[in-house]
Amino acid sequence: MTETDPRQRLLDKGVIIPHPRGVSISPEVDLDRIAPGVTIYPGCRIAGAETFIMSGTVIGREGPATIEDCHIAQGVELKGGYFKASVFLDNANMGAGAHVREACLLEEEAGGAHTVGLKQTILMPFVTLGSLINLCDCLVSGGTSRADHSEVGSSYIHFNFTPQQDKATPSLIGDVPRGVMLRERPIFLGGQGGLVGPSTIGFGAVIAAGAVFKGDLKDGRLAYGGQDGQKERAFIPGRYGEIKPRVLNNIHYIANLLAFRQWYASARSLFLQPELMAAALNLLDKAIDERIKRLKALAMKMPESVKGHKASRASEKSEIMIRRQTELYNAWQAVEESLTAMRGHAGDTGVRDAFLKELSRSQGPYIQVIKDLNQATCHTGTRWLTGLVEQITAAALKPLPTFTATA
């Protein structure tokens, strides 16, 4: 290798490359953004002008790995697979065969075993995934440590594409306002099972192994049992049934993402290196845009659905479906404008500032500082974020009165 070879330049600055000729560094990569102390094993390809890798990260220990435009903090292990346009915070990890696509955020000590597929997914600290998992369009929180973590069992699927060909299907497993405080009971999604999005799962909830769950599950509830026998009915392309739960879950998910963005801009900014901070905010903006886009696509399908309902025999049930579907289509612009306007909304700044004042008194790593907060301070932070989620949700639903009606 010559002195100008990027592999040699990385070796000269202290990057560990046991077999340099087995590693590919694309010409657009800024070598100044790869820190000394990074280890890159044979069969790896580093690409993307945005790629940023901090010391202690190990890439490709279990197999070939491709890194493309990712931001990677300290002590991360990406053992093999493909990783694109995502952010990995301290000590996150993924096993061989991973397929991590755009807009994934793995916070501290979160990770998965081999052959895990993620896209548009956020794993908050300690969340652990087994093997052979597809978990796209989710946010997962819960747990207090690596020994007390939310778990998704092996061979689990989040079903995020409907027969009507839409992806307005994000699932909130835990939540942001309580989840960020690292004090909630872990969530368990048992192996060989699945979750049909969009769904909201509470802290301490358990879905037993082998179950395919559809719906919402409150805190501390157990769902178990298989399918209750095959059933059959006519399938009419383009015609949706009751969309109220779907729309409410989507708006609640977006509100949580917006609150999470405020958490990063206000609280996490005290701890994150500026490059990682900017990348995380950019990622959250993309995640919010994606969810609004997918919900808009659903809204635009409503005229065809209404047409299908009107062509069938009318009933009291179909009449309320028609009213809601018509309302969603007609009011979509106002809903979208509300969600967009709320991107910079900080909620009750008095409550926020009281929380941040206490947070800033502590020194040390992020996880330890959060775990050391007293209950009163945690309650203040959760109150701030909960209020923010409620304000965003109420504003988005204001143009949709039939979705808040009890009928």
pLDDT of residue 317: 72
pLDDT, one tens digit per residue, over 333-342 is 999 999 999 9
pLDDT, one tens digit per residue, over 68-106 is 999 999 999 999 999 999 999 999 999 999 999 999 999
pLDDT of residue 283: 98
Strand 111-112 and strand 93-94: the pairing is parallel
Cα(28)–Cα(93) distance, integer angstroms: 25
Cα(173)–Cα(217) distance, integer angstroms: 9
Cα(298)–Cα(185) distance, integer angstroms: 34
Cα(98)–Cα(81) distance, integer angstroms: 4
83: enclosing H helix or E strand? strand 81-84
Tokens 């809903």 correspond to 335
pLDDT of residue 310: 86
pLDDT of residue 34: 98
Cα–Cα distance list, 366 to 177, 269, 272, 358 (Å): 17, 10, 8, 14
Cβ atoms of 88 and 107 within 8 Å: the answer is no
* Segments of the chain scoring below 50 in pLDDT: none
pLDDT of residue 227: 61
Could you tell me which of 120, 73, 78 has the C-alpha nearest to residue 101?
A: 120
pLDDT of residue 113: 98
pLDDT of residue 313: 66
Residue type at 406 in one-letter notation: T
Q: Is the pTM above the cut of 0.85?
A: yes
Cα–Cα distance list, 377 to 107, 354, 356, 361, 380 (Å): 22, 8, 9, 12, 5
Instruction: Name the phi and psi angles at 83, rounded to 5.
Output: -135, 120
Overall size of the chain counted in residues: 407
